[in-house]
Amino acid sequence: MSGKTSEHVPLIKVNECIWEIPTSYKPGMRVPGRIYSDEILLEKMKMDLTIEQCANVAHLPGIYKWSITLPDGHEGYGFPIGGVAATDYEEGVVSPGGVGYDINCGVRLIRTNLKIDDVKPVLPKLLDMLFNYIPSGLGSRGKLKVTLSELDKVASEGVNWAIEAGYGWPEDAENCEENGCMSNADPSKVSSTAKNRGYPQLGSLGSGNHFLEIEAVDKIFNKTIAKSFGIEEEGQIMVLVHTGSRGFGHQICDDYLKVMEKAVHKYNIKLPDRELACAPLKSREAEDYLPAMAAACNFAWANRQMITHWTRQVFEKVFNKSAEALEMHLIYDVAHNIAKKEEHVIDGVRKVVCVHRKGATRAFPPEHKDVPVKYRSIGQPVIIPGSMGTSSWVLVGSKKAMELSFGSTAHGAGRVLSRAAAKKRFWGSEVKQKLENQGILIKAASMAVVSEEAPDAYKDVDRVAEVSHKIGIAYKVARLVPLGVTKG
Amino acid sequence: MLDKKFEFLEHMGDAYIAAYGETLEEAFSNAGLAMFEVMTDTKLIEPKLRDEIMVEGEDEIALLHNWLEALLLKFEMELKLYSSFNVKKIKRKNGGFLLEAEVFGETFNKDKHLSKTEVKAVTYHQMNISKEAGKFIVKFILDL
């Protein structure tokens, strides 16, 4: 927390879960701000700059409808984390801060046909092997060293590069947002610093809030939809992977923040916070940033695909069955830090917009052309990871999300305690012990990270999912609870 | 802040650091040390190798950012960890600033060095350089 709050920002109650910041709050606001939240989560947002930042984002040239903050919203840099902003593709701007440092940070969920009783007896072995097989933690390097020219292929082809290189099944690509590849990616727009930083890290989990979890289905809320996603019964085992584009994406963001800083002066854009730095979508700066960002997205999809492959290999070894026999299909892979060119209906007119999702998950409805064919009649699977040791959620996208949030919902729990405060309050070993008492095993490279990521440092993810369901921007399908966590 | 080289301040989600020094150079050196303390236990890093680092910045804030970023990239690309920092004179050059430093440390070894948190980026968010009661204070946030 910066110590500054948003308590002074005027809010108009639209209904029990929708709040609006009027444009009269700040003279430069082009649209109102909108907070999707219940009263309890709203109180937490008032304690830091979340709501103020929501109002600041409303200043972006070309922004449509509202600057949106989702129920998991918390203070970020310029943009709040847990937010959506859609700008006109002809007359609006793109802002790297609206995507974030970890470009295409995202989650994927892999199903199995195993049950809790199959996994419990071998859980320590399974976690140890996953921890040893999948590089994680400080300075983690991929096991396979790609060359710089191979990296360009990864950046151009995304998940397809990984599948062709033997890391997965052809059907995996269909179950990723964008089929795991942004076609506008151009590695020539990526600096050599980003490439040199990124290539040794391909195929690694990283650290901080990134993790790989073994989950059990705890409760199914919609049997028909769950079944279509491959979630068949309570007690079924799943694997959740949460990571992004590693140093490759971090550096691309850093490089282009410098470019955008200059662009703000060049194009004389008036902003209330320099970290909203942006450039017109029809400028040279944006035309360089977007293909570079897409390259980082592709890196992240390849990265999660490689981790999926090693996860399947570990399950094969532990259960002495093929991954096919264990029915380890990818349910879905979604990005939650990304900017996308999409079509949305605004005041009855179809418009091409740039949707910034900063800590927000796409939640497209049934019959949308970008939903994989196998889910087309049901809607897009939405995966919301909780914090370490708490539940995670599977939801389904909805028509209401197209009206209210440019087809988006929340992305996680959202912090309530700073890392420094969490470390003061919790000991890593105590957090680990407490989780073990609940039957959750943890294998982590760092006890410091375990204390920083303590479950109590986060908002209640169940409440976040509930608010999403209540508003109707994504509906509850199933809740998962962790059995084992591996962290960097 | 009296005898501390640096301290971790409260910030949601990330590392908010204040580093101190009798001179701006010393405060910059301590800022480098603080960043490696986020990543590992710097007490376990022996000064086995020496590197020279030179960065420029259009102002002191940009210089601080570029100095920390240069150190972060040394770790990210070469897996080098440092525990001793000697920022020599910060000079004016071409309307901006130039920093030259020598740093000491060793290559990251998973068995020897503690693995804490990876740093994604050095941000400009709330970055600040000030002087209070004759001491230099530099504040910055690392995205984790």
Set of chain B residues whose Cβ sits within 8 Å of the Cβ of A99 = none
pLDDT of residue A165: 96
What is the C-alpha separation between A460 and B98, in angstroms, rounded?
47
What is the C-alpha separation between B141 and B12, in angstroms, rounded?
10
pLDDT of residue A424: 73
Mean pLDDT along residues A108-137: 96
Q: Predicted confidence band at A141 (pLDDT cuts at 50, 70, 90)? A: confident
Per-residue tokens: A97: 């801060």
pLDDT of residue A330: 98
Per-residue tokens: A144: 């396979």
The answer to whether residue A304 scores a pLDDT higher than 90 is yes
What is the C-alpha separation between A16 and A484, in angstroms, rounded?
36
Nearest Cα to Cα of residue A175 among A318, A312, A301, A37: A301
Q: Predicted confidence band at A2 (pLDDT cuts at 50, 70, 90)? A: low
Mutate to test the interface with B, among A5, A72, A77, A105 (most CBs of B within 10 A): A77
pLDDT of residue A208: 79
Set of chain A residues whose Cβ sits within 8 Å of the Cβ of B11 = 1-2, 418-420
What is the C-alpha separation between B61 and B125, in angstroms, rounded?
11
Q: Predicted confidence band at A220 (pLDDT cuts at 50, 70, 90)? A: very high
Q: How far is B92 from chain A (nearest CA, A)?
A: 21
Helix H segments across A356-460?
399-404, 419-425, 428-437, 447-452
Set of chain B residues whose Cβ sits within 8 Å of the Cβ of A138 = 39-40, 108, 113, 115-118
Q: State whether A250 and B121 contact (CB < 8 Å).
A: yes
From the candidate CATH numbers 3.55.10.10, 3.30.70.1450, 3.20.20.70, 3.40.630.10, the one assigned to the domain spanning B6-125: 3.55.10.10
Q: State whether A208 and B121 contact (CB < 8 Å).
A: no
Mutate to test the interface with A, among B79, B115, B127, B140 (most CBs of A within 10 A): B115
Q: State whether A138 and B126 contact (CB < 8 Å).
A: no
Mean pLDDT along residues A31-57: 96
Residue type, A453: E
Mean pLDDT along residues A106-132: 97
Q: State whether A197 and B120 contact (CB < 8 Å).
A: no
pLDDT of residue A107: 97
Per-residue tokens: A205: 């989990």
Q: Predicted confidence band at A59 (pLDDT cuts at 50, 70, 90)? A: very high
Cβ of residue B135 closer than 8 Å to a chain A Cβ: no
Set of chain A residues whose Cβ sits within 8 Å of the Cβ of B112 = none
Q: State whether A2 and B120 contact (CB < 8 Å).
A: no
How many interface pairs between A and B have CB atoms less than 8 angstroms apart? 105
pLDDT of residue A431: 83
Task: Delimit the domains of chain B by residue range.
Answer: 6-125
pLDDT tens for each residue of A345-394: 999 999 999 999 999 999 999 999 999 999 999 999 999 998 877 899 99
Mutate to test the interface with B, among A245, A418, A458 (most CBs of B within 10 A): A418
Give the percent of chain B with pLDDT over 90.
78
Residue A354, helix vs strand vs coil: strand
What is the C-alpha separation between A45 and A33, in angstroms, rounded?
14
Nearest Cα to Cα of residue A387 among A331, A460, A445: A460
pLDDT of residue B13: 62
Q: How far is CA A3 from CA A6, A452, A479, in A?
A: 10, 19, 34
The strand pairing partners of B98, in sequence order, are B56, B91
DSSP, residue by residue, B49-112: EEEEEEEEESSHHHHHHHHHHHHHHHHHHH-EEEEEEEEEEEEEETTEEEEEEEEEEEE--TTT
What is the C-alpha separation between A284 and A280, in angstroms, rounded?
9
Please tell me which residue of chain B has the smallest CA distance to A273: B125
Q: How far is B100 from chain A (nearest CA, A)?
A: 21
Tell me whether residue A411 is one of the annotated catalytic residues.
yes
Nearest CB partner across the interface for A419, out of B120, B126, B144? B144
Give the percent of chain A with pLDDT over 70.
99
Nearest CB partner across the interface for B116, out of A275, A415, A449? A449
Catalytic residue among A242, A309, A411, A469: A411
Query: What is residue A80's DSSP assignment?
Result: P
Per-residue tokens: A69: 């903050």
Cβ of residue B128 closer than 8 Å to a chain A Cβ: no
The answer to whether residue A420 scores a pLDDT higher than 80 is no
Set of chain A residues whose Cβ sits within 8 Å of the Cβ of B15 = 419-420
**Whole-number CA gyration radius for chain A:** 21
Mean pLDDT along residues A241-268: 96
Q: How far is B82 from chain A (nearest CA, A)?
A: 14
Residue A332, helix vs strand vs coil: strand
pLDDT tens for each residue of A197-215: 999 999 999 987 899 999 9
pTM score of the predicted model: 0.95
pLDDT of residue A63: 98
Mean pLDDT along residues B84-109: 95
Nearest CB partner across the interface for B121, out of A196, A254, A420? A254
Q: Residue A163 in contact with residue A169, Cβ under 8 Å?
A: yes
Q: Which residues 17-56 of B are in CB contact (within 8 Å) with A?
A: 39-40
Q: How far is A249 from chain B (nearest CA, A)?
A: 9
Residue B1, helix vs strand vs coil: coil
What is the C-alpha separation between A314 and A312, in angstroms, rounded?
5
What is the C-alpha separation between A286 and A280, in angstroms, rounded?
7
The answer to whether residue B95 scores a pLDDT higher than 70 is yes
Q: Residue A248 in contact with residue A225, Cβ under 8 Å?
A: no
Mean pLDDT along residues B119-134: 92
Q: Buried b / exposed e across A52-61, counting CB within 10 Å, b at 16+?
A: bbbbbbbbbb
The answer to whether residue A91 scores a pLDDT higher than 90 is yes
Q: How far is B102 from chain A (nearest CA, A)?
A: 22
H-run or E-run covering A123 = helix A123-133
Q: Predicted confidence band at A447 (pLDDT cuts at 50, 70, 90)? A: confident
Which region, left, alpha or beta, applies to residue B21 given φ > 0 means left and ψ of -120 to 50 means alpha? beta
What is the C-alpha separation between A294 and A184, in angstroms, rounded?
7
Q: Predicted confidence band at A325 (pLDDT cuts at 50, 70, 90)? A: very high
Q: State whether B117 and A77 contact (CB < 8 Å).
A: no
Chain-wide mean pLDDT for chain A? 94
The sign of the dihedral angle between the CA atoms of A478, A482, A485, A487 is positive
What is the C-alpha separation between A424 and A416, in angstroms, rounded?
14
The answer to whether residue B2 scores a pLDDT higher than 70 is no
Cβ of residue B130 closer than 8 Å to a chain A Cβ: no
Beta-strand pair B96-107/A236-243? unpaired
Mean pLDDT along residues A431-442: 87
Q: How far is A264 from chain B (nearest CA, A)?
A: 16
The answer to whether residue B24 scores a pLDDT higher than 60 is yes
- Pick A423 or B96 by higher pLDDT: B96
The answer to whether residue A438 scores a pLDDT higher than 90 is no
Beta-strand pair A361-362/A408-409? antiparallel
Q: State whether A452 and B117 contact (CB < 8 Å).
A: yes
The answer to whether residue B1 scores a pLDDT higher than 60 is no
Q: Predicted confidence band at A223 (pLDDT cuts at 50, 70, 90)? A: very high
Nearest CB partner across the interface for B9, out of A253, A420, A445? A420
Set of chain A residues whose Cβ sits within 8 Å of the Cβ of B120 = 101-102, 208, 247, 250
Q: How far is A231 from chain B (nearest CA, A)?
A: 32
Q: Predicted confidence band at A105 (pLDDT cuts at 50, 70, 90)? A: very high
pLDDT of residue A156: 98
Q: State whether A488 and B118 contact (CB < 8 Å).
A: yes
What is the C-alpha separation between A442 and A246, in angstroms, rounded?
22
Mean pLDDT along residues A6-34: 97
Nearest CB partner across the interface for A448, out of B10, B117, B121? B117
What is the C-alpha separation between B97 and B119, in angstroms, rounded?
25
Residue with tokens 């729990």: A413
